[in-house]
Structure 1
Amino acid sequence: MNFIAYLFQDWSANRGNIKGQLVLFLFRSVQLANRHTLLKILFCWHLVLYQLIVEWHLGIELPRKTTAGKGLIIYHGQALVVNQGVIMGEGCVLRNSVTIGHKKYADGTFSRCPRLGNNVDVGANVCIIGDVTIGNNVVIGAGAVVIRDIPDNSVAVGNPARILEKKT
């Protein structure tokens, strides 16, 4: 994938969502700068600008080390928190007040971060915590707390999240 295509890979998925386009353009650009030490030094001003605009001003914690497939969509990203170890597939949707991260155990160690498959639709106020795997084509309803794996083609709701139905 060439440089320009990489920067704009989320653009069409966020059509009409200027905030989402801006955040994801900046996210992809800091991911490029993060690839090599020389680029980090040359573009340190850009890394700081990303931190100021996206994290401090817009309230979206989407670290540059996060792995996200193309076509990521962010709706109303306010209070969105994603751990840097999270892996997201292609076509994922994240809404406002979503938290995705690891779990801290009593002995001070941390679990692995969640892994989301392709086309995962995460509703508002969802928490996905711990070493869980979310399958492909999954919908997670608003307010759900996911602490267990969710299989492909499922709809999950509740606290703790349970499988409501399998999509056909």
Structure 2
Amino acid sequence: MNPFAYLFQDRKANRGNIKGQLVLFMFRLVQLINRSMVAKVILFPYLMFYRFFVEWSLGIELPRKLTAGKGLIIYHGQALVVNQGVVLGENCVLRNSVTIGHKKLADGNFSGCPRIGNNVDIGANVCIIGDVTIGDNVIIGAGAVVVKNIPANSVAVGNPARIIEQKTTITETIITTGA
């Protein structure tokens, strides 16, 4: 992917959301800069500006080492914290006050970070912590606390999060019923 297309890969998904477009453009630029030590040295002032403006002023922590697929959407980006070890799939939606990261274990070490699939919609005030995997096409309701894996095509809500609905695709239905 050419650098220009890389910088604007989230623009279409955030249509009408100027703040989301700006933050994600700046985030993708920081990721490009992070690929080269020379770029990091030359563009160090921009890295500091990104940290001050996006993280401190806007309250959105998207570290430059974060792995995020294309089409990332940020709605009402305030108090959004994502650990740099998290892996976000394509077309994920993050809302305000979401926290995604590792947790401290009893032995003093830290767990792994969450891996989030494609087309995942994360509601406001959701906390996803620990070494968990969220499947594709999952909806996590507002205020949920996710500490266990969530399979694909599910809807999860509550504290702790529990699956209230699991959708099956037509092909899965045909295979299981023999139709």
TM-score, L = length of structure 1: 0.99
Length, aligned pairs only: 168
- Counterpart CA distance in 2 for 1:167 and 1:70 is 24
Deviation at 1:107, TM superposition (A): 1.7
Task: Name the structure 1 match of 2:114.
Answer: 114
Counterpart in the other structure of 1:21 = 21
1:71 aligns with 2:71: yes
Which residues of 2 match residues 1-168 of structure 1 at below 5 A? 1-168=1-168
The amino acid that maps onto 2:164 is: L
Identity across the alignment (%): 76
Give the letter for the 2:83 counterpart.
N
**DSSP-derived class of the 1:128 partner:** strand
Equivalent in the alignment of 2:172: none
TM superposition shift of 1:106:
2.1
Distance between the aligned counterparts of 1:161 and 1:106, measured in 2? Answer: 22
What letter is aligned with 1:31?
A: Q
Report deviation, 1:167. Answer: 2.2
The root-mean-square deviation of aligned C-alpha atoms, in Å, is 0.6
Hey, which bits of structure 1, 4+ residues long, moved more than 4 A? Answer: none
Helix, strand or coil for the counterpart of 2:13? helix
The 2-side partners of 1:59 and 1:3 are apart by: 26
1:63-121 deviation line (CA, Å, top 9, x unaligned): 01000000000000100000000000000000000000001012210000000000000
- Where does structure 2 lack aligned partners over 5 or more consecutive residues? 169-179
Q: Which runs of 5+ in 1 are unaligned?
A: none
Q: Distance in 1 between matches of 2:108 and 2:123?
A: 30
Alpha-carbon distance in 1 for matches of 2:46, 2:15: 24
SS at match of 1:85: coil
Distance 1:96 1:121 in 2: 12
Deviation for aligned residue 1:59:
0.4
SS in 2 for 1:13: coil
Deviation at 1:48, TM superposition (A): 0.5
Mapped partners of 2:15, 2:83: distance in 1: 26
User: What one-letter code is carried by the residue in structure 1 that aligns with 2:20?
Assistant: G
Secondary structure of 1:51's match?
A: helix
Paired AA for residue 91 in structure 1: N
TM-score when normalising by structure 2: 0.93
